[in-house]
């Protein structure tokens, strides 16, 4: 605990933002600690571009998997997909814009609600701060869509939605923004006639300015993924993974590789990256997470024209550790690459955890000790908290060192749903107090006798009330296409 307290005490000085995008992506601060020297060196081929050994410098445009929905922490704004909660008037999908700078006890933080022009439920959002755009993905009924929003006006740009070519995000499809190449990276599954021999399940890019899609990089269907913009690699968490294996996507090489590690469980379900150290965090279903060191890892390409590739860890194998004793089904996470901490959430429950990651690149990963473990308290409407899952909605506000998680729409009372903000310094300092019940008070925009703040690190921001989906004609959701297996 002492190490955690020492580290968090420096955050007021050292916390700097990473432009990030994804399930709930973060962006907006101007600088960040270094990490341009990360390494995933190649045998028989290259991995990413340039020298990538962790530790020597990270540009302000670098991106981590800091979340699974869009957060512009420089503007104090969150772009929250309202999953399975269509607009009650049009039955179209919608995204809430939340002002995180206000005191929700006295001011309604719901800045506006962006209503899409089609009924598909959005599953992910990402922010392109350079062009002041928000990318929203949706579609599981046979067609995939990208909507682009102008941040300055909170309106859809001309041409939205943009139809994906023969792919769709599916029920848990997510998006992250790559500021190095100014494209969104979207996890997709095959939809319609696929022209590619290798399949159309995996990943596709989208340029939000030119409105153009890139080719599909075939892989397993990514129910969750983490992206490192420095190494240009993706941790691809798929149901297609064998026990003790995950996929790693080489964006620059347009190929899917596999990584075997004995500390990986039978069912990995979430992933995120510390891009400053090239350390990945992978959630599991048995109250355990795997932290894996990819610093110095190598790509090994097999022989033959159809040979696949594998990732070889550096150091002593396995160059990873398990962190046990976490809340059950602690699956999804977001990493603060400045503070080197991972904020994790339990699926369909109130459990949360915070892991201390290595503060600098290491050759060999040591044990991850003394994780902070707690629970989100009941929300201002009195409902028991239940984190949204499939798709997961967790994020990191790296400018202010706040973890963010969204309640499942089905968990709220009287249609009220909330975004919960967790002060990670307070969580580190006293994990037991993070679940303190809300005191009597008021919460702007919600009929309640409770405050929005528990005064021990948790703040609730109301979202637009959940609509009755039964009153809307929802898109037909066909059986998911079988993902392409890695070799």
Residue 481 lies in a domain: no
Those residues with Cβ within 8 angstroms of residue 190's Cβ, 6 or more apart along the chain or in another chain = 166, 167, 199, 200, 201, 481
pLDDT at residue 471, rounded to an integer: 66
CATH number of the domain within which 412 lies: 2.130.10.10
Q: Which of 20-34, 169-183, 253-267, 403-417 has the lowest average pLDDT?
A: 20-34
The first and second tokens of residue 291, run together, are 């932290």
pLDDT at residue 470, rounded to an integer: 56
Split at pLDDT 50, 70, 90, the class of 284 is confident
Q: Could you tell me if 74 and 129 are in contact, meaning their C-beta atoms sit under 8 angstroms apart?
A: yes
Domain with 391 in it: 2-471
pLDDT digits (tens, 9 = 90+) for 114-140: 999 999 999 999 999 999 999 999 999
Please count the structural domains in the chain.
1
Rounded to the nearest 10°, the torsion over CA 479, 480, 482, 487 is -170
> Residue 271's closest CA among 252, 241, 291, 244?
291
pLDDT at residue 242, rounded to an integer: 78
Please give the Cα distance from 156 to 149 (Å, whole number).
Answer: 4
Q: Which of 93-97, 324-328, 374-378, 423-427 has the lowest average pLDDT?
A: 324-328
The first and second tokens of residue 180, run together, are 């190095």
pLDDT at residue 139, rounded to an integer: 96
pTM over 0.75: yes
Please give the Cα distance from 292 to 413 (Å, whole number).
Answer: 39
| pLDDT averaged over every residue in the chain | 84
The first and second tokens of residue 307, run together, are 């040979």
The whole-number average pLDDT for the span 296-311 is 81
pLDDT digits (tens, 9 = 90+) for 163-209: 999 999 999 889 999 999 999 999 999 998 888 877 899 999 999 99
Judged against a pLDDT cut of 90, whether residue 41 lies above it is answered with no
Please give the Cα distance from 176 to 128 (Å, whole number).
Answer: 10
pLDDT digits (tens, 9 = 90+) for 46-86: 333 333 444 433 433 333 346 789 999 999 999 999 999 99
Judged against a pLDDT cut of 60, whether residue 271 lies above it is answered with yes
Residue 293 lies in a domain: yes
pLDDT at residue 332, rounded to an integer: 92
pLDDT at residue 228, rounded to an integer: 94
Residue 476 lies in a domain: no
The whole-number average pLDDT for the span 228-251 is 88
The whole-number average pLDDT for the span 360-382 is 96
The whole-number average pLDDT for the span 277-296 is 93
DSSP 220-281: S-EEEEEEETTTTEEEEEETTPPTTEEEEEETTTTEEEEEE-TT--S---EEEEETTTTEEE
Q: Could you tell me if 245 and 267 are in contact, meaning their C-beta atoms sit under 8 angstroms apart?
A: no
Judged against a pLDDT cut of 60, whether residue 2 lies above it is answered with no
Q: Give the percent of the chain with pLDDT over 70.
A: 80
pLDDT at residue 62, rounded to an integer: 34
Please give the Cα distance from 167 to 143 (Å, whole number).
Answer: 7
Please give the Cα distance from 292 to 306 (Å, whole number).
Answer: 28
pLDDT at residue 47, rounded to an integer: 39
Please give the Cα distance from 147 to 132 (Å, whole number).
Answer: 14
Residue 358 lies in a domain: yes
Residue 15 lies in a domain: yes
Q: Could you tell me if 452 and 104 are in contact, meaning their C-beta atoms sit under 8 angstroms apart?
A: yes
Those residues with Cβ within 8 angstroms of residue 197's Cβ, 6 or more apart along the chain or in another chain = none
pLDDT at residue 22, rounded to an integer: 38
Angle of CA points 135, 138, 139, to nearest 5°: 150
Residue 477 lies in a domain: no
pLDDT at residue 70, rounded to an integer: 94
Block residue for tokens 């201390």: 356
The whole-number average pLDDT for the span 143-162 is 98
Q: Which of 156-160, 220-224, 295-299 has the lowest average pLDDT?
A: 220-224
Judged against a pLDDT cut of 80, whether residue 230 lies above it is answered with yes
Split at pLDDT 50, 70, 90, the class of 451 is very high
Q: Which of 10-24, 277-291, 444-458 has the lowest average pLDDT?
A: 10-24
- Tell me the sheet residues that pair with 356: 341
> Residue 157's closest CA among 136, 143, 177, 171?
136
The whole-number average pLDDT for the span 6-16 is 38
Please give the Cα distance from 192 to 139 (Å, whole number).
Answer: 13
- What are the φ/ψ torsions at residue 448 (nearest 5 degrees)? -160, 160
Q: Could you tell me if 372 and 431 are in contact, meaning their C-beta atoms sit under 8 angstroms apart?
A: yes
**Dihedral sign computed on CA atoms, order 45, 47, 50, 53:** negative
DSSP 83-129: TT---TTT---EEEEEETTS-TTTS--EEEEEEPSS-PPEEEEEEET
Number of other residues whose CB lies within 10 A of the CB of residue 138: 32
- Tell me the sheet residues that pair with 458: 422
Q: Give the percent of the chain with pLDDT over 90.
A: 65
The first and second tokens of residue 171, run together, are 């029920």
pLDDT digits (tens, 9 = 90+) for 376-418: 999 999 999 999 988 899 999 999 999 999 998 766 555 568 9
The whole-number average pLDDT for the span 340-352 is 94
Give the CB-side neighbour count of residue 322, counting CA atoms within 13 A.
15
Number of other residues whose CB lies within 10 A of the CB of residue 105: 16
Please give the Cα distance from 325 to 318 (Å, whole number).
Answer: 20
| Distances, alpha carbon 393 to alpha carbons 66, 83, 209, 270, 468, in Å | 11, 10, 25, 11, 21
Widest pairwise Cα distance in the chain: 68
Residue 483 lies in a domain: no
Residue 266 lies in a domain: yes
């Amino acid at each position: 605990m002492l190490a955690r307290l020492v580290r968090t005490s420096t955050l007021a000085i050292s916390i700097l933002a990473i432009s990030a995008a994804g399930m709930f992506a973060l962006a907006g601060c101007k600088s960040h600690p270094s990490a341009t020297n990360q390494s995933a060196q190649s045998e028989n081929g290259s991995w990413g571009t340039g020298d990538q050994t962790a530790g020597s410098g990270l540009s302000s445009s670098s991106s981590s998997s800091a979340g699974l929905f869009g957060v512009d922490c420089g503007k104090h704004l969150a772009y929250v997909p309202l999953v399975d909660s269509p607009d009650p008037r049009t039955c179209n999908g919608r995204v809430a814009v939340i002002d995180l700078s206000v005191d929700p006890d006295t001011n309604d933080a719901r800045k506006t609600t962006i209503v899409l022009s089609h009924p598909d439920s959005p599953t992910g959002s990402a922010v392109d701060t350079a062009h002041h755009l928000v990318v929203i993905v949706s579609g599981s009924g046979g067609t995939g869509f990208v909507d682009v929003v102008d941040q300055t006006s909170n309106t859809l740009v001309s041409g939205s939605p943009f139809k994906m070519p023969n792919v769709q995000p599916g029920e848990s499809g997510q998006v992250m923004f790559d500021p190095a190449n100014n494209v969104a990276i979207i996890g997709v599954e095959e939809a319609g006639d696929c022209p590619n021999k290798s399949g159309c399940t995996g990943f596709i890019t989208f340029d939000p300015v030119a409105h153009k899609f890139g080719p599909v990089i075939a892989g397993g269907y990514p129910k969750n993924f983490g992206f490192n913009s420095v190494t240009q690699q993706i941790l691809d968490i798929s149901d297609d993974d064998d026990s003790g294996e995950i996929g790693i996507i080489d964006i620059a090489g347009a190929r899917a590789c596999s990584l075997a590690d004995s500390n990986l469980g039978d069912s990995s379900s979430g992933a995120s990256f510390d891009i400053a150290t090239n350390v990945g965090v992978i959630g599991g279903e048995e109250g355990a997470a795997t932290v894996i060191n990819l610093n110095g890892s190598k790509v090994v390409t097999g022989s033959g024209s159809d040979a696949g590739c594998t990732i070889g860890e550096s150091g002593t194998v396995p160059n990873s550790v398990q962190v046990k004793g976490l809340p059950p089904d602690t699956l999804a996470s977001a990493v603060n690459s400045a503070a080197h901490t991972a904020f994790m959430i339990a699926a369909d429950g109130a459990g949360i955890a915070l892991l201390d990651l290595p503060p600098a690149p290491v050759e060999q990963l040591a044990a991850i000790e003394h994780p902070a473990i707690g629970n989100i308290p009941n929300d201002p409407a009195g409902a028991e908290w239940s984190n949204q899952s499939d798709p997961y909605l967790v994020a990191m506000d790296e400018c202010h060192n706040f973890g963010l998680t969204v309640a499942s729409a089905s968990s709220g009372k009287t249609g009220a749903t909330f975004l919960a903000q967790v002060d990670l310094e307070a969580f580190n300092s006293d994990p037991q107090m993070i679940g303190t019940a809300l005191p009597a008070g008021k919460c702007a925009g919600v009929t309640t006798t409770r405050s929005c703040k528990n005064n021990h690190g948790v703040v609730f921001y109301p979202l637009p009330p959940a609509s009755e989906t039964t009153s809307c004609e929802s898109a037909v959701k066909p059986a998911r296409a079988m993902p392409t297996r890695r070799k």
